[in-house]
C-alpha cells in the first residue's frame, strides 16, 4: 500500500488533520461526559462516594490495559482502523450508560470508555501529525494536544449544560454524544490511511511497550510529574462534584461542568508555554505551579470557598499541562526512534495510574475522615511527589553544569 498522503484529492482529505482532531475531541469528551451526572446516579442507585471513585477509576484501568497490550498496534495495521474501533467502543459506552440501572453497568460503561481512550491517545496524535500539510506540521502537535485535553474538558461542560437545562438529564447527554460519534465515524471513513503497508486488522498482536536504557534516567522524574498531574485531573473529574454539592452547596450541574472544564482548559494553556521554556525546565516549573495549585485546593477544602477551588483548577491545571508536555518531550527526546512509541506508552501508563489509585484512596479516606480531610491528605501527598520530581531534575541540571 502506498502512502496516500501524497495523493489527497481535496474535500475532507484537504483538512484531514482537523477532521482527525475533531474525532479525537469527540471521543475524549465521552470519557468525562458522566462527571456532572454522578450525583444523579447516586440518587438513583444509592451508592457511596467510594463507589463513585471506583467507577471512575475503572476507566483508567481500561486505558492502561490497551496501552500495555496494543499501544503500538496502529504502526502495523494503520491509524484509521484503530480509530474506528475506538469510536465503536465509545459508542458502546454511551449505549451502556443509556441503559445503566446498576453499578455494574456503570463500571462496564467506564471500561468501554477507557478502551476507546486507550485506542485514541497515541494513534490519533500520530494521525493528526501525519495528515497535516508540511507547512502546518509544527502547529499540528498543538492541535492534537488541544483535541485531547480540550475534548476531556468539553465532556463535563456539555453534559452539565444539557442535564441542567434540558429534559432527560441521564439520557440526552449520551444521545447527543452518539450523534457526534456517528458523524465522526463517517468523516473518519473518508480520511486516507497514512501507514504504508498496513496489514489487516485481524493480524494485530499484543505488543507491550518497552523502556530502553537511555530513557530510564529521565523517566523517573517525568513519570512522577505525570502521575501527580494526572491525579489532580482525576480528583477534579471524580470527587469535585460531591465537594461542590455537599460542602459548597453548589447543585447546578452546569457550574460543576464548568469548574471541571476549567482545569483542562488551564492544562492546554500550560502546554502552550512549554516551547518558550524548553522541556527540561518545564517539568520542575510545572511541578512548582502544580504545588501552588494543590495549596489552593487545600485552602478551598479547608475554607469551603468556590473561588479558591476555581483558582486551584486554573493554577493546578496549568502546572499539570506544563509538566506533562515537558515529560513527554524529555522522554521522546531521550528514546531511540524505534522505541519512542513504547517509551511514551510507558509514560502514559504511569500517568493513568495517577488518575486511578489516588482517587480510590480519596474515596476510601472519605468514608472515615470525611471528604474535606481526605482531600487535604491527597493534596499533601501529591505536593510531596511533585516536589520530589522537581528537586530531582534541578539536582540533575546543576550536576550537568
**Looking at residue 362, what is its pLDDT?**
81
Residues 2 and 196: beta-carbon distance below 8 Å? yes
**Looking at residue 214, what is its pLDDT?**
83
**Looking at residue 375, what is its pLDDT?**
80
**What would the mean pLDDT of 22-49 be, rounded to a whole number?**
91
**Looking at residue 398, what is its pLDDT?**
65
pLDDT at 306 over 80: yes
Cα-to-chain-centroid distance, residue 252: 24
Residues 87 and 185: beta-carbon distance below 8 Å? yes
Dihedral over Cα of 156, 157, 160, 162: its sign: negative
Average pLDDT, the chain: 85
Rounded distance between C-alpha atoms, residue 49 and residue 238, angstroms: 9
Q: Distances from the Cα of 246 to the Cαs of 250, 251, 297, in angstroms? A: 8, 9, 16
SS3 content of the chain, % helix, strand, coil (to 5): 85, 0, 15
Residue whose grid cell is 467507577: 55
**Res. 153 pLDDT band, cuts 50 70 90:** very high
| SS3 annotation, 76-118 | HHCHHHHHHHHHHHHHHHHHHHHHCCCHHHHHHHHHHHHHHHH
**What would the mean pLDDT of 21-43 be, rounded to a whole number?**
93
Q: Which residues contact 189 (CB under 8 A, 6 or more apart)?
A: 80, 84
**Looking at residue 371, what is its pLDDT?**
75
Residue whose grid cell is 484509521: 80
Task: State pLDDT tens for residues 216-264.
Answer: 888 888 888 888 888 888 888 877 888 888 888 889 999 999 999 999 9
Q: Which of 112, 239, 248, 254 is nearest to 169 (CA)?
A: 254
Rounded distance between C-alpha atoms, residue 22 and residue 184, angstroms: 7
The percentage of residues in the chain with a pLDDT greater than 90, rounded to a whole number, is 36
The percentage of residues in the chain with a pLDDT greater than 70, rounded to a whole number, is 90
Task: State pLDDT tens for residues 159-217.
Answer: 999 999 999 999 999 999 999 999 999 999 999 988 777 777 666 666 666 677 888 88
**Res. 1 pLDDT band, cuts 50 70 90:** very low
**Looking at residue 206, what is its pLDDT?**
65
DSSP secondary structure of 238-264: HTHHHHHHHTS----HHHHHHHHHHHH
Q: Distances from the Cα of 212 to the Cαs of 66, 142, 306, 337, in angstroms? A: 20, 27, 45, 11
Q: How many CA atoms, within 13 angstroms, populate the side-chain half-sphere of residue 233?
A: 34
E-strand stretches of 150-297? none
Report the range of poorest mean pLDDT among 110-119, 303-312, 343-352. Answer: 343-352
| Radius of gyration of the CA atoms of the chain, in A | 20
Q: Which residues contact 206 (CB under 8 A, 6 or more apart)?
A: 69, 70
State the DSSP code for 1. Answer: -
**What would the mean pLDDT of 293-314 be, rounded to a whole number?**
91
pLDDT at 43 over 50: yes
Task: State pLDDT tens for residues 359-386.
Answer: 788 888 877 788 778 888 888 888 888 8
Q: Distances from the Cα of 217 to the Cαs of 333, 339, 354, in angstroms? A: 12, 15, 20
Higher-confidence residue of 121 and 296: namely: 296
Q: Which of 80, 79, 37, 32 is nearest to 60 (CA)?
A: 32
pLDDT at 401 over 60: no
- Backbone dihedral angles phi then psi of residue 78, each to the nearest 5 degrees: 105, 160
Higher-confidence residue of 400 and 53: namely: 53
Rounded distance between C-alpha atoms, residue 31 and residue 151, angstroms: 9
pLDDT at 2 over 50: no
**Looking at residue 137, what is its pLDDT?**
64
Rounded distance between C-alpha atoms, residue 98 and residue 174, angstroms: 7
Residues 233 and 263: beta-carbon distance below 8 Å? yes
pLDDT at 387 over 50: yes
**What would the mean pLDDT of 21-30 be, rounded to a whole number?**
96
Amino acid at each position: 500500500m502506498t502512502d496516500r498522503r501524497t495523493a489527497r484529492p481535496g474535500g475532507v482529505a484537504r483538512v484531514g488533520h482537523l477532521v482527525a482532531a475533531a474525532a479525537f475531541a469527540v471521543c475524549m469528551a465521552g470519557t468525562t461526559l458522566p462527571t456532572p451526572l454522578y450525583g444523579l446516579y447516586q440518587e438513583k442507585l444509592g451508592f457511596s462516594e467510594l463507589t463513585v471513585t471506583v467507577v471512575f477509576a475503572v476507566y483508567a484501568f481500561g486505558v492502561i490495559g490497551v496501552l500495555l497490550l496494543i499501544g503500538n498496534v496502529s504502526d502495523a495495521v494503520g491509524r484509521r482502523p484503530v480509530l474506528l474501533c475506538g469510536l465503536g467502543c465509545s459508542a458502546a459506552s454511551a449505549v451502556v450508560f443509556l441503559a445503566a440501572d446498576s453499578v455494574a453497568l456503570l463500571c462496564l460503561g467506564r471500561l468501554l470508555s477507557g478502551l476507546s481512550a486507550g485506542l485514541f491517545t497515541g494513534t490519533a496524535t500520530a494521525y493528526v501529525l501525519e495528515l497535516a500539510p508540511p507547512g502546518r506540521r509544527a502547529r499540528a502537535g498543538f492541535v492534537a494536544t488541544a483535541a485531547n485535553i480540550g475534548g476531556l474538558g468539553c465532556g463535563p461542560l456539555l453534559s452539565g449544560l444539557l442535564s441542567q437545562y434540558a429534559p432527560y438529564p441521564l439520557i440526552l447527554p449520551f444521545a447527543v454524544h452518539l450523534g457526534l460519534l456517528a458523524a465522526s465515524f463517517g468523516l473518519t471513513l473518508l480520511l486516507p490511511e497514512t501507514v504504508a503497508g498496513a496489514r489487516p486488522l485481524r493480524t494485530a498482536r499484543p505488543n507491550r511497550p518497552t523502556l530502553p536504557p537511555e530513557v530510564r534516567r529521565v523517566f523517573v522524574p517525568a513519570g512522577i510529574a505525570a502521575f501527580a498531574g494526572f491525579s489532580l485531573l482525576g480528583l477534579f473529574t471524580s470527587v469535585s462534584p460531591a465537594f461542590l454539592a455537599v460542602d459548597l452547596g453548589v447543585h447546578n450541574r452546569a457550574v460543576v461542568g464548568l469548574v471541571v472544564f476549567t482545569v483542562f482548559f488551564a492544562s492546554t494553556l500550560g502546554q502552550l508555554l512549554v516551547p518558550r521554556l524548553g522541556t527540561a525546565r518545564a517539568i520542575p516549573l510545572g511541578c512548582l505551579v502544580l504545588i501552588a495549585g494543590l495549596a489552593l485546593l487545600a485552602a478551598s477544602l479547608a475554607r469551603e470557598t468556590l473561588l479558591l477551588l476555581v483558582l486551584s483548577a486554573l493554577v493546578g491545571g496549568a502546572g499539570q499541562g506544563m509538566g506533562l508536555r515537558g515529560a513527554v518531550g524529555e522522554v521522546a527526546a531521550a528514546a531511540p526512534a524505534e522505541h519512542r512509541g513504547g517509551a511514551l506508552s510507558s509514560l502514559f501508563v504511569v500517568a493513568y495510574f495517577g488518575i486511578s489509585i489516588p482517587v480510590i484512596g480519596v474515596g476510601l479516606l472519605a468514608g472515615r475522615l470525611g471528604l474535606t480531610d481526605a482531600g487535604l491528605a491527597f493534596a499533601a501527598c501529591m505536593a510531596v511527589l511533585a516536589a520530589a520530581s522537581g528537586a530531582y531534575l534541578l539536582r540533575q541540571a546543576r550536576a550537568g553544569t
